[in-house]
């Protein structure tokens, strides 16, 4: 299942007991309140934002999407306050544009307008990737954890690989497509598989190996530039961070904060492993891809692949092992009580996908009831 890797000398830029900073990028859909269809009003929404919310917003690849970006945060309370404020500001601006802001991972009904914003890079992506670049909009949650040394960031990403399918399963929030249940808990994950630069994080022996691989992919035309590295974990192209981008956007703020806390604790734990000289497992790519497919299909309502021991196991057993692995890091950051409470809530309420499916079952397939619920969760404090 694994083979012993060659290891680079452990970098020393981040102390293994350091408290790490974090930040979150959340993408949202702009939906018609009556039909649930995607509305191409992002320009109007962004223009309507004011103050800090405007500074923390980003134009996205679809006219029906906006992205809100928190500042760098030191603790979960600070992060949560920023997420609540940014979601509410974006929701108010969306309402003024005749839309509503919804935290859902994939276009639930349909998207008639699939042209890209009028930017040279977006047009180049459209020409290069054709119909793939015009799929309906999808929305993710990207967690950044401060790791300023690139060598260390690359090694941390190697160590994260066995745990990323579990993080993916925690975040599934897109079972619907074209108004129907796809049978997948994260349709966003399946839709994104058509892009050549999105998917499981490869193993790299060093930062130089990472850079050479990216350069080869750009030279081959697989990516336009290094910013198109969309692997599930990567050294950020823009910030001195490890960026984990495997998850659907979360329906509620506390879901997002839970994910951010676990990602930070995972990164902190892997920093310790790198400093201790513990090698990352060399997992076979086909097994990693299979584990991610299973996570996207099942969420936490079935079994997941255990990439460390082999075989499939109940999803919540692997969540429990994840929690045990990162408990020291959670305690060091002061996050352990909150994470324990939120994992217990998640087990009671289910993932975003499970919540949507309960409403579908209760209402006889009323997608609008699902979207009403998601819109309310998006801005709840």
Note the pLDDT tens digit of each residue in 212-223.
Answer: 999 999 999 999
Contact 189, 292 (CB under 8 A): yes
Contact 234, 246 (CB under 8 A): no
Could you give phi then psi for residue 216, rounded to 5 degrees? -65, -40
pLDDT given for residue 235 in this prediction:
96
Note the pLDDT tens digit of each residue in 82-121.
Answer: 999 999 999 999 999 999 999 999 999 999 888 888 889 8
pLDDT given for residue 341 in this prediction:
98
61 Cβ neighbours under 8 A, 6+ residues apart: 116, 117, 122, 125, 133, 137
Q: How far apart are CA 241 and CA 13, in angstroms?
A: 13
> Tokens 């990567």 map to which residue?
234
pLDDT given for residue 13 in this prediction:
59
Pairing of strands 303-305, 282-283: unpaired
Q: What is the mean pLDDT of residues 150-167?
A: 98
pLDDT given for residue 115 in this prediction:
86
| Coil, helix or strand at residue 21 | coil
Q: How far apart are CA 316 and CA 320, in angstroms?
A: 6
> Tokens 């012993």 map to which residue?
4
pLDDT given for residue 237 in this prediction:
86
Topology (CATH) of 2-379 = Creatine Kinase; Chain A, domain 2 (3.30.590)
DSSP for 290-338 reads: HHHHHHHHHTTSSEEE-TTT-SEEEHHHHHHHHHHHHHHHHHHHT-HHH
Domain residue limits, the chain: 2-379
pLDDT given for residue 17 in this prediction:
66
Instruction: Using CA atoms of 316, 317, 320, 324 in order, give the dihedral in degrees to the nearest 10.
Output: -160
Note the pLDDT tens digit of each residue in 9-45.
Answer: 445 556 766 789 999 999 999 999 999 999 999 999 9
Name the more confident of 119 and 190.
Answer: 190
Q: How far apart are CA 46 and CA 304, in angstroms?
A: 39
What whole-number percentage of the chain has pLDDT above 90?
91
pTM: 0.95
Tokens standing for 139? 């929305």
Contact 353, 339 (CB under 8 A): no
Average pLDDT over the chain, rounded to an integer: 94
Which helix (H) or strand (E) is 242 found in, with range? strand 241-248
* Closest alpha carbon to 200 in 222, 174, 172, 168: 168
Is residue 355 predicted with pLDDT exceeding 50? yes
Is residue 299 predicted with pLDDT exceeding 60? yes
What whole-number percentage of the chain has pLDDT above 70?
96
Note the pLDDT tens digit of each residue in 207-256.
Answer: 999 999 999 999 999 999 999 999 999 999 889 999 999 999 999 999 99
* Closest alpha carbon to 102 in 33, 161, 190: 33
Q: How far apart are CA 134 and CA 126, in angstroms?
A: 7
Q: How far apart are CA 37 and CA 176, in angstroms?
A: 12
């Amino acid at each position: 299942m694994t083979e012993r890797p060659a290891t680079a000398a452990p970098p020393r830029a981040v102390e293994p007991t350091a408290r790490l900073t974090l930040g979150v990028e959340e993408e949202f859909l702009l939906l018609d309140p009556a039909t649930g269809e995607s509305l191409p009003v992002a320009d109007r929404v962004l223009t309507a934002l004011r103050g800090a919310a405007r500074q923390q917003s980003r134009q996205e690849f679809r006219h029906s999407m906006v992205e809100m970006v928190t500042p760098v945060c030191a603790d979960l309370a600070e992060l949560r306050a920023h997420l609540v404020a940014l979601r509410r500001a974006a929701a108010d601006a969306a309402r003024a544009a005749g839309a509503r802001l919804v935290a859902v991972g994939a276009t639930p009904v349909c998207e008639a307008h699939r042209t890209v914003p009028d930017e040279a890079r977006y047009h180049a992506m459209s020409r290069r990737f054709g119909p793939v670049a015009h799929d309906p909009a999808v929305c993710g949650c990207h967690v950044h954890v401060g790791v300023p040394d690139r060598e260390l960031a690359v090694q941390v990403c190697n160590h994260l690989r066995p745990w990323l399918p579990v993080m993916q399963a925690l975040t599934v929030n897109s079972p619907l497509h074209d108004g129907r249940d796809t049978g997948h808990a994260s349709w966003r994950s399946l839709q994104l598989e058509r892009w050549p630069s999105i998917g499981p994080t490869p193993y790299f022996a060093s930062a130089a190996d990472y850079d050479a691989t990216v350069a080869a992919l750009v030279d081959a035309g697989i990516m336009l530039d290094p910013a198109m590295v969309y692997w599930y974990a990567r050294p950020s192209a823009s910030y001195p961070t490890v960026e984990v981008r495997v998850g659907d956007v979360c329906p509620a703020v506390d879901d997002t904060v839970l994910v951010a806390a676990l990602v930070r604790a995972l990164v902190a734990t892997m920093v310790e492993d790198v400093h201790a000289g513990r090698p990352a497992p060399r997992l076979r790519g086909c097994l990693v891809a299979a584990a991610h497919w299973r996570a996207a299909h099942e969420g936490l309502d079935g079994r997941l692949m255990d990439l460390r021991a082999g075989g499939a196991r109940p999803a919540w057993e692997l969540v429990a092992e994840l929690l045990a692995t990162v408990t020291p890091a959670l305690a060091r950051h002061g996050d352990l009580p909150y994470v324990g409470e939120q994992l217990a809530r998640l087990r009671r309420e289910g993932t975003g996908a499970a919540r949507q499916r309960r409403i579908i079952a209760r209402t006889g397939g009323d997608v609008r009831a699902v979207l009403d619920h998601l819109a309310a969760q998006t801005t709840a404090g």
